[in-house]
Amino acid sequence: MSAKLNTKFCNFEFQNPLMNASGVHCMTTGDLDELANSKAGSFITKSATLSERAGNPEPRYISVPLGSINSMGLPNKGIEYYLDYVVNRQKQNPNDAPIFFSVVGMSKQEMLGNLQKIQDSEFTGITELNLSCPNVPGKPQVAYDCDYTKEILTEAFKIFKKPLGIKLPPYFDFAHFDIMAKILNEFPLAYVNCINSIGNGLYIDVDSETVVIKPKDGFGGIGGDYAKPTALANVRAFYLRLNPSIKIIGTGGIKTGKDAFEHLLCGASMLQIGTALQKEGVSIFERIERELKEIMNAKGYKTIEEFRGTLKSL
Q: Is 47 a catalytic residue?
A: no
Residues in CB range of 207: below 8 A, 6 or more apart: none
Q: Is 10 a catalytic residue?
A: no
Q: Which of 85, 110, 91 is nearest to 101 (CA)?
A: 85
65 and 206 Cβ atoms separated by less than 8 Å:
no
CA angle 276, 279, 281 (to 5 degrees): 90
**What whole-number distance in Å separates Cα of residue 78 and Cα of residue 217?**
27
Catalytic residue among 68, 102, 132, 269: 132
123 and 90 Cβ atoms separated by less than 8 Å:
yes
Helix (H) and strand (E) counts in the chain: 9, 15
Question: Count of CB atoms within 10 A of residue 182's CB?
Answer: 13
Catalytic residue among 133, 194, 197, 269: 133
**What whole-number distance in Å separates Cα of residue 220 and Cα of residue 214?**
9
251 and 196 Cβ atoms separated by less than 8 Å:
yes
| Residue 201, strand partner residues | 220
14 and 100 Cβ atoms separated by less than 8 Å:
no
> If you count them, how many residues does the chain have?
314
Helix (H) or strand (E) holding 102: strand 100-103
**What whole-number distance in Å separates Cα of residue 237 and Cα of residue 109?**
31
CA angle 266, 245, 309 (to 5 degrees): 15
Give catalytic residue positions.
132-133
